[in-house]
C-alpha cells in the first residue's frame, strides 16, 4: 500500500493506462469494464475515478500514443540518401518490423497489434490514429525516394500514386501479421519466418514498380539483416 501512496498523479495515470491497454487489446473497448481496469492496475474503482472520469477518457489517452512504435523505424532511416536503395531498405525494414519483434518490444508490439486489429472491429479510432502517425512520419521520405528513383529511371511506368503503392505494401505486411497473431498461426506458410519476410519484400518491391535491375543490385537480404541488427544495437546502447 505504501508504494501506491508514493506515486505521483502522473505515475498513477500511466500505471492505469498500462494496465488498461492489454485489456482493450484482448477484449476490445466494449468488452473491457472499469472494474477490470481497476483490478489490473491494483487500485480501487474510486481511486481510478480520481484520475480518469471514465473508461472513454482512459481509451482516448491511450490513443494519443498510437503509432509510436513505428515512428522510430522511419527516424532511424532518415540519414540515408533518397532513392531506390533507400526504398528497398524501407520496404525490407517494414516487413521485418511488423513480422518480427526485438526482445525488448515483444509484449508491447503484440499488445499494439491486437489493439490495432480490435480497433478495426470497433470504432476504428486507434487504427486511424496509428496509421496517420505512420503516414506523418514516412510520407515526405517515401515521396523523396520515389522522385529520386524516378529521375534515375529505376521505376517502371505505373499509373499509381506513390503513397498508394506504399500503403498497399503496408497493408500486405499487416495481413501477413494478422495470420501470425494467434499462438497457432491461422495460415502457415512453408519455410521459415525469415524466408517469408524475404519473399514478401521481393514481391512488394516489384509491386511498387522498381525495375528488376535495381532490385538485383540493391536487394541483398543478408546485408539488409546486418543493417537492421546494427540499428537495433544502436537503439539499445
Domain boundary among 63, 81, 109: 63
Residue range 39-73, pLDDT digits in tens:
999 999 999 999 999 998 998 888 776 656 566 66
pTM for the model: 0.78
What is the Rg, in whole angstroms, of the alpha carbon atoms belonging to the chain? 20
CB-based contacts of 219, cutoff 8 Å, min separation 6: 88, 92, 201, 202, 205
- What's the CATH code of the domain at 8? 1.10.10.60
Q: What are phi and psi of 3, to 5 degrees?
A: -65, -35
Domain boundary among 63, 82, 104: 63
> Considering only 12-16, 57-61, 160-164, 171-175, which range has the smallest mean pLDDT?
57-61
Range of the domain at 98: 68-236
Average pLDDT over residues 95-106: 67
CA distances from residue 205 to 21, 138, 187 in whole angstroms, order as listed: 35, 17, 23
Q: Are residues 53 and 116 in the same domain?
A: no
pLDDT attached to residue 49: 95
Taking the C-alpha atoms of residue 17 and residue 41, their distance in angstroms, rounded to an integer, is 8
Q: Are residues 107 and 156 in the same domain?
A: yes
Q: Are residues 93 and 194 in the same domain?
A: yes
> With the CA atoms of 208, 210, 216 and 222 taken in that order, what torsion angle do they form, in degrees rounded to the nearest 10?
-40
Q: Are residues 49 and 137 in the same domain?
A: no
Average pLDDT over residues 190-209: 92
Q: Are residues 59 and 82 in the same domain?
A: no
Is residue 170 within 8 A of residue 135, CB to CB? The reply is no
Could you tell me what percent of the chain has a pLDDT over 70?
Answer: 87
Residue (of 213, 215, 195) closest to 204 by Cα position? 215
Domains contained in the chain, number: 2
Q: Are residues 25 and 119 in the same domain?
A: no
Q: Are residues 116 and 152 in the same domain?
A: yes
Domain boundary among 63, 79, 111: 63
CA distances from residue 177 to 103, 120, 161, 188, 207 in whole angstroms, order as listed: 17, 14, 25, 11, 19
Residue (of 99, 78, 102, 100) closest to 89 by Cα position? 78
Q: Are residues 104 and 10 in the same domain?
A: no
What is the SS3 assignment for 210? strand
Amino acid at each position: 500500500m505504501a508504494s501506491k501512496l508514493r506515486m505521483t498523479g502522473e505515475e498513477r495515470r500511466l500505471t492505469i493506462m498500462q494496465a488498461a491497454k492489454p485489456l482493450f487489446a484482448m477484449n476490445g473497448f466494449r468488452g473491457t469494464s472499469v472494474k477490470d481496469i481497476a483490478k489490473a492496475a491494483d487500485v480501487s474503482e474510486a481511486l481510478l475515478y480520481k484520475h480518469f472520469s471514465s473508461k472513454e477518457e482512459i481509451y482516448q489517452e491511450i490513443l494519443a500514443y498510437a503509432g509510436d512504435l513505428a515512428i522510430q523505424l522511419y527516424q532511424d532511416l532518415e540519414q540515408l540518401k533518397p532513392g531506390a536503395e533507400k526504398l528497398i531498405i524501407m520496404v525490407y525494414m517494414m516487413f521485418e518490423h511488423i513480422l518480427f519483434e526485438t526482445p525488448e518490444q515483444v509484449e508491447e508490439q503484440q499488445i499494439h497489434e491486437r489493439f490495432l486489429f480490435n480497433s478495426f472491429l470497433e470504432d476504428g479510432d486507434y487504427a486511424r490514429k496509428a496509421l496517420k502517425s505512420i503516414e506523418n512520419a514516412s510520407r515526405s521520405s517515401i515521396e523523396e525516394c520515389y522522385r529520386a528513383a524516378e529521375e534515375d529511371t529505376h521505376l517502371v511506368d505505373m499509373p499509381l500514386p506513390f503513397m498508394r503503392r506504399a500503403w498497399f505494401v503496408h497493408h500486405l505486411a499487416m495481413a501477413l501479421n494478422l495470420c501470425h497473431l494467434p499462438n497457432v498461426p491461422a495460415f502457415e506458410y512453408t519455410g521459415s519466418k525469415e524466408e517469408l519476410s524475404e519473399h514478401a519484400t521481393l514481391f512488394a518491391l516489384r509491386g511498387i514498380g522498381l525495375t528488376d535491375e535495381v532490385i538485383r543490385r540493391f536487394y541483398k537480404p543478408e546485408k539488409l539483416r546486418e543493417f537492421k541488427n546494427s540499428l537495433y544495437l544502436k537503439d539499445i546502447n
